[in-house]
A and B are shown apart, each in its own frame.
Chain A
Amino acid sequence: MALRRRSIKDTRGEATLFRVRALVGFALILMGLGVLVARYQYLQVQRHDEFALRSENNRVKPRAIPPARGLIYDRNGVLLADNVPAFRLEVVPEQVKDMPAMLAAIREVVPLDDGDIEAFKKQLKQNRRFDSVPLKLHLTEDEIDRFAINRWRFPGMDVVPYLTRRYPYGPLFAHVVGYVSRIDADDMTRLDADRYKGTSHVGRSGLERSYEDMLHGEPGYELVEVNADGRVQRVLETHAPTPGKNLYLSIDVRVQKAATDAFQGRPGSAVAIDPRNGQVLAMVSVPSFDPNLFVNGISKADYAAYTTAEDKPLLNRALKSAYPPGSTVKPFLALGGLELGIRRPEDTVLSTGEFCIPGQQRCYRDDTRGGDGTVNMVRAIEKSTNTYFYKLALDMGIDRLSSWMGSLGFGKKTGIDLLGEAEGILPSREWKATRSKYPWFQGETVIAGIGQGYWNVTALQLAHVTATFAGRGTPYAPRLVMATQEVKQRPVPLANPPSGPSLIRKPHDWDVVNQGMEAVVTGGTAKGQFTGFPYVVAGKSGTAERFSRRSNEYDTNKNLAYLATRHRAWFIGYTPVEEPRIAVVAMLESGAWGASDAGPIVRKVMEAWLASTGGPVPPKNIEGAPASSSSVPEEPEDTPVASPADMSVMPSVPADSSTGTQSDDGGNP
């Protein structure tokens, strides 16, 4: 059959047929290749821009470079807050397949506490999948080594260098400089995400917080080439970040140290201000804490130790704790009497030991049994004669009193460059109306005259008022930061113009009050406290009772330790009186007497300041002077003023001020 077929096969015709088919086939193939080329032309020319962009987006990713945080120096350039290199563990969520399993596994390599995990999980929810999230900060060398060995087990996880904060002086500046800590989920909603990309820490308290904006700087970025796994291949472009500004405090480390040491661990606070410009020269709250513990996450045990401690080391007493000022307000009230034309310097008052509001049963005591006799203004300040100020307050009236005192700065924020400042309380009709259904009683005006009753002030506030007075009435908002500095440039002073014109209209009024305050130190309640100090010091003591007196009996227990549990001690002072350059306020939460317990602290601050400015150095033997004077209880002290409630707690409003439930008279014979 095949043979038969072959015999009739048209070989020549077949070849021709094939030739046609081959040509047709080739034509079809060329068409096919043409279609292919058309498709490539469509992709590579028509849609080139689109795909070029997608290719770039594939390979080039921007990566934030966090700025270096500004450094903080004292006024002489001593470093108070430093950046030091450290390592942290970071996770790129996108590259982790099973997060819970990974977290369980990593804990065996690098110990994590629940706080780390919690913070990580919070941030995980907020971040984009391909942005890395820190898991643990400040790895130890041991942890870094162990991770390095096990790294292959943890894709998407890496040890990354960063800058962490260090406070070389630890507790000394904890209440001033504050600290930074890890950015948490709440911060993420508050902070500008673009500015904080790649940043792990933010200012949490103190200047670190109030100057956050300046300290932080502006982040830079780099364009990096990544592969399909997201691993960086190389850096294509770098735009350097702008580091944060450095801050220079007006505080001198040595003055701050001296002020802290002067407390010898006793709870209290001290603030020193330069009356000429509002610069804070020292600001101390005792006890303090170690800010370094907070930077990379404080352990639960450490934190619990701080929060449960009875003397509240985390509390910034200078800024936030308001206490009755006691007799320290007397010079300012006297000034008000002169300025408002209610008193002339030579006007006298007879102090008999007791002062009664005319037409009322209620009487108020002097601190000295039998009184100070006939006193004029200077003498009244020197002796802290209550009767003089009872009468002055009464003559002035509560409205003028609170308006005058308010103009000096009582009852409002000083405007210092820290956040969270307490306002304190300035007694006034308006204030009482918001708290009580009772009207204002005259007796309340009387006790306001000696800085008690509702009155509450912070050490900072009192220092601010003292400095304003010392500066002859020109008010300046207190400033901790004196100058700022951009990288590689000279520090630029921060302008701090006076916040208003001088509050004292007649310079002679100032002279009279100043004379009284000088007398306090030379022969009054603080006699001997400043003996040997090269400059003339003016001051005023204040002693406030922590508990309400239950009876009209004089307390005859003169044991200092006992009194310290019942009194708060204040002392305000400034020097040199000719042209005051420093005003200091010291407060001891448990001090027997203002002059003998708080006074030496003020003196030590002044001495350290004098030494730091290169002024005359006080002779050595002076050290013993305050101690010996404090052992002389016969010296009349201030009236210990009862405070119905504990420190920062609002005093309860007495139902009737004339009933005598509230004690205000002297405890001293």
Chain B
Amino acid sequence: MIDELQERLVQLLRRMAKRPRIDIPLALGLITLAGVGLATLYSASGGNMAMIAGQATRFVMGGMLVLLISRIPPQTLRAWTPWLYAASIFLLLVVAAIGEVRSGSKRWLNLGVMSFQPSELLKLTMPMMVAWYLHPRQLPPSWKDIIAVGILIGIPAGLIAEQPDLGTALLVSAAGAFALFLSGMRWWKIGSLLGAVAAMVPVAWHFLHEYQRNRVRTLLDPESDPLGNGWHIIQSQIAVGSGGLFGKGWQHGTQSRLDFLPEHTTDFIFAVFSEEFGLVGVIGLMLLYAFIIGRCLWIAMEARDTYSRLLAGAIGMSFFVYVFVNGGMVAGMLPVVGVPMPLISYGGTSAVSLLTGFGVLMSIYANRKIHK
């Protein structure tokens, strides 16, 4: 009995060593990132062990989710894609109808035991849908396909922006757009599309909520309202700037510890990181993110079919959007939008949806091309 079990275990390990279902470098990168995230959270929360335990539990569960999803072959995912996308859209409509309002925005569905944001689903189902649509097409995509993809992106993005949740709408749109970009969309088409988007900006400004406009205004001149909208931006920049080259040291960041920095465990945790670890820490973390994104793109290149390639590439590239938008916000370069720093910010939903994405990547890795 035990011999048999041992035998099977040895076989499994041998198989994994020969043809692992998990990309070890990517996994190590993610584990390192999660470790940095927990350490920063420990400092930012003032050693709040309940928060640390909660976040660690989510990481473990997310890790198991990665292992589980990695077992699902990309073909199966592709087959499910239209249904998953349709279900996501349906849930968005349900939210619009009977969603729960929290602090002015309607994002949550109350499931009794827990509440969740259907918009999070789109972070994954969106690139899946675009990849599914482009998979059988002749690439680079024609204008017709581009318009079709535009509609696929536009409907959920519009619904999410309406909640309003500009940050998620941006991430969801970006994920779809990256799939389109990776499909080989002609540069002149990209250029003309971006030009059109740029032309739309004044129109979009008109549709923004007043508080959103204020965030943009405040970004341009934070000192105009130092105790109101400007407070976040000013205090965050003070935290970052006072960190200097080498930082104040772990647990020695005064801006967060003395509550000058708002949201210092969630959206602005990167300010705590920058304050305590300085520019050297920032560069180190950016290299880690670059490594993870690069590894994702490598997995995409090694993928077996168009669907897998586009999906893996889009997930990897949207990871960058998180980092850039959050990092830019903390540094006072971009307006304040609710985009977390991936795997560093405290909070369940984003960690789970991010790790689900990495589960898909692992699955694609496991079913990569066989080199001769």
Task: Check A58–B274 contact: CB distance below 8 A.
Answer: no
Q: Is B161 an interface residue (CB 8 A)?
A: no
The residue of chain A having its C-beta at the shortest distance from the C-beta of B254 within the complex is: A59
Chain A residues near B323: list those with CB within 8 A.
33, 36
Q: Is A51 an interface residue (CB 8 A)?
A: yes
Task: Check B279–A40 contact: CB distance below 8 A.
Answer: yes
Q: Among the listed stretches B2-10, B112-120, B294-302, which one makes contact with chain A, having 4 or more residues with CB under 8 Å of it? A: B294-302
The distance in angstroms between the C-alpha atoms of A223 and B270, with both chains bound, is 29
The one of B137, B278, B294 in contact with A44, judged by C-beta atoms closer than 8 angstroms, is B278
Q: Given A29-B293, A58-B238, verify A5-B139 contact (CB < 8 Å).
A: no
Q: Is B244 an interface residue (CB 8 A)?
A: yes
The distance in angstroms between the C-alpha atoms of A52 and B332, with both chains bound, is 16
Q: Is A26 an interface residue (CB 8 A)?
A: yes
The distance in angstroms between the C-alpha atoms of A39 and B241, with both chains bound, is 10
The distance in angstroms between the C-alpha atoms of A228 and B320, with both chains bound, is 33
The one of B140, B282, B297 in contact with A25, judged by C-beta atoms closer than 8 angstroms, is B297
Chain B residues near A5: list those with CB within 8 A.
136-138
CB distance from A236 to the nearest CB of B (A): 11
Chain B residues near A52: list those with CB within 8 A.
241-242, 244
CB distance from B25 to the nearest CB of A (A): 15
The distance in angstroms between the C-alpha atoms of A228 and B261, with both chains bound, is 8
Task: Check B136–A18 contact: CB distance below 8 A.
Answer: no
Task: Check B279–A58 contact: CB distance below 8 A.
Answer: no
Interface residues of A in 1-52 (CB under 8 A from B): 2, 5-6, 8-9, 11, 14-15, 17-23, 25-26, 29-30, 32-33, 36-37, 39-41, 43-45, 47-48, 50-52
CB distance from B24 to the nearest CB of A (A): 20
Task: Check A29–B136 contact: CB distance below 8 A.
Answer: no
Q: List 21 A-B contacts (CB under 8 A).
A: A5-B136, A18-B183, A18-B300, A26-B294, A26-B297, A33-B289, A37-B286, A44-B245, A44-B278, A45-B244, A45-B279, A48-B245, A54-B238, A54-B241, A55-B254, A58-B238, A58-B260, A59-B258, A225-B254, A228-B259, A228-B260
Task: Check B317–A25 contact: CB distance below 8 A.
Answer: yes
The distance in angstroms between the C-alpha atoms of A51 and B233, with both chains bound, is 13
> A9-B138, A37-B283, A227-B260 given. 17 additional CB < 8 A pairs?
A21-B313, A25-B178, A25-B181, A29-B293, A29-B317, A30-B290, A32-B320, A33-B286, A33-B290, A40-B331, A43-B237, A44-B245, A48-B245, A52-B242, A55-B238, A55-B255, A58-B254
The distance in angstroms between the C-alpha atoms of A56 and B239, with both chains bound, is 11
Number of interface residues of B (CB under 8 A): 51
Chain B residues near A22: list those with CB within 8 A.
182, 297, 300-301, 313
Q: Is B265 an interface residue (CB 8 A)?
A: no
Task: Check B258–A58 contact: CB distance below 8 A.
Answer: yes
Q: Given A5-B136, A33-B324, verify A21-B184 contact (CB < 8 Å).
A: yes
Chain A residues near B137: list those with CB within 8 A.
5
Q: Is B328 an interface residue (CB 8 A)?
A: yes
Number of interface residues of A (CB under 8 A): 45
The one of A2, A14, A43, A47 in contact with B139, judged by C-beta atoms closer than 8 angstroms, is A14
Interface residues of B in 223-260 (CB under 8 A from A): 235, 237-245, 254-255, 258-260
Chain A residues near B260: list those with CB within 8 A.
58-59, 227-228
Chain A residues near B300: list those with CB within 8 A.
18, 22
Interface residues of A in 49-82 (CB under 8 A from B): 50-52, 54-56, 58-59
The prevalent SS among residues of B at the interface is helix
Interface set of A (CB-CB < 8 Å, partner B): 2, 5-6, 8-9, 11, 14-15, 17-23, 25-26, 29-30, 32-33, 36-37, 39-41, 43-45, 47-48, 50-52, 54-56, 58-59, 225-229, 233
Task: Check B324–A51 contact: CB distance below 8 A.
Answer: no
Task: Check A19–B301 contact: CB distance below 8 A.
Answer: yes
CB distance from B248 to the nearest CB of A (A): 9
The distance in angstroms between the C-alpha atoms of A59 and B324, with both chains bound, is 29
Interface residues of B in 312-344 (CB under 8 A from A): 313, 317, 320, 323-324, 327-328, 331-333
Q: Is B123 an interface residue (CB 8 A)?
A: no
Task: Check A229–B328 contact: CB distance below 8 A.
Answer: no
Chain A residues near B237: list those with CB within 8 A.
43, 51
Interface residues of B in 125-145 (CB under 8 A from A): 136-140
The distance in angstroms between the C-alpha atoms of A37 and B283, with both chains bound, is 7
Chain B residues near A44: list those with CB within 8 A.
240-241, 243-245, 274, 278-279, 282
The distance in angstroms between the C-alpha atoms of A6 and B289, with both chains bound, is 36
Chain A residues near B289: list those with CB within 8 A.
33
Task: Check B184–A18 contact: CB distance below 8 A.
Answer: yes
Chain B residues near A36: list those with CB within 8 A.
286, 323-324, 327-328, 331, 333
Chain A residues near B259: list those with CB within 8 A.
227-229
CB distance from A279 to the nearest CB of B (A): 57
Task: Check B324–A32 contact: CB distance below 8 A.
Answer: yes
Interface residues of B in 186-222 (CB under 8 A from A): none
Q: Is B306 an interface residue (CB 8 A)?
A: yes
The residue of chain B having its C-beta at the shortest distance from the C-beta of A24 within the complex is: B181
Q: Is B309 an interface residue (CB 8 A)?
A: yes
The distance in angstroms between the C-alpha atoms of A44 and B241, with both chains bound, is 4
Q: Given A29-B293, A40-B274, verify A48-B244 contact (CB < 8 Å).
A: yes
Chain A residues near B184: list those with CB within 8 A.
14, 17-18, 20-21
The residue of chain B having its C-beta at the shortest distance from the C-beta of A41 within the complex is: B279
CB distance from A274 to the nearest CB of B (A): 61
The one of B182, B241, B279 in contact with A51, judged by C-beta atoms closer than 8 angstroms, is B241
Task: Check A29–B242 contact: CB distance below 8 A.
Answer: no
The distance in angstroms between the C-alpha atoms of A225 and B258, with both chains bound, is 9
Task: Check B258–A233 contact: CB distance below 8 A.
Answer: yes
The one of A8, A33, A47 in contact with B138, judged by C-beta atoms closer than 8 angstroms, is A8
CB distance from A61 to the nearest CB of B (A): 11
The distance in angstroms between the C-alpha atoms of A353 and B256, with both chains bound, is 98
CB distance from A20 to the nearest CB of B (A): 8
The residue of chain B having its C-beta at the shortest distance from the C-beta of A233 within the complex is: B258
CB distance from B135 to the nearest CB of A (A): 9
Chain B CB within 10 Å, residue with most, of A5, A11, A51, A59: A51
CB distance from B74 to the nearest CB of A (A): 15
Mask for B261-295, Cβ within 8 A of A = 1, else 0? Answer: 00000000000001000110011001001100110
The distance in angstroms between the C-alpha atoms of A620 and B255, with both chains bound, is 80
Q: Which 8 A-B pairs have the closest CB atoms?
A: A51-B241, A55-B242, A227-B258, A17-B184, A228-B259, A43-B241, A44-B279, A51-B242
The residue of chain B having its C-beta at the shortest distance from the C-beta of A22 within the complex is: B297
CB distance from A568 to the nearest CB of B (A): 69
CB distance from A50 to the nearest CB of B (A): 7
Chain B residues near A32: list those with CB within 8 A.
320, 324
Chain B residues near A59: list those with CB within 8 A.
254-255, 258, 260
Chain B residues near A26: list those with CB within 8 A.
293-294, 297
